[in-house]
Amino acid sequence: MDSTSTENADDQAHETPAGGSDQGETPGEDGSNQETTGGNATADDHPRLRAAIDYLDRGWASTPTLGKSPFISAWQDQPFPSEADVRDMFANRKRNVGVRTGAISGNLTDIDLDHPRARQLAAAFLPKTGAIFGRASSRRAHWLYVVTGARRRAVHRLPQRRGRQHRRASRG
């Protein structure tokens, strides 16, 4: 399991795209940190904060991440955040936005298509969704769904060429 998931399949964090660029902070004249958005921009102009608020409006719980790793310890035990919580969590522009899947986000489920062949076959096997995202190297690697009645987490691996096979595992 990677560092952004937990043993409880009902509560996982997944980094999601927020758009925009990484803009840092610079010390202000009074010694405080001021965001470097230029002009008269406000914190609401920050793309990651906007994304986190958008996810909140969709009923999705978010958590700040550094890369793929959740920034808050025991993040999976945190209650659903308020808008004030989200604004506080994402005040630091260097944090990415992780969306918590499972019951806390209305049974949001992420189909994570790591293998290139899985991404090629996804449209033939998965239902249509309006929520597909990924990284620059793999733009369609995550397909989001709201699922009801799910009780387990399963990992299925495609067989490799030349007779070697990946293990197939599932937990009930």
Nearest to 85 by CA among 58, 64, 102, 109: 64
Strands 138-146 and 62-66: unpaired
Q: What's the first-to-final CA gap in the chain, in angstroms?
A: 16
Residue with tokens 């969709």: 58
pLDDT value, residue 125: 94
Q: Write the CA distances from 23 to 27, 135, 163, integer angstroms.
A: 13, 18, 48
What does the alpha-carbon distance between residue 49 and residue 123 come to, in Å, rounded to a whole number? 31
pLDDT value, residue 62: 95
pLDDT value, residue 122: 95
User: pLDDT in tens for each of the 172 residues of the chain?
Assistant: 222 322 233 345 555 544 333 222 222 333 333 333 344 445 567 899 999 999 999 999 999 999 889 989 999 999 999 999 999 999 888 889 999 999 999 999 999 998 999 999 999 999 999 999 988 889 999 999 999 877 667 777 777 766 555 554 544 4
- Helix (H) or strand (E) holding 37, with range, is none
pLDDT value, residue 163: 57
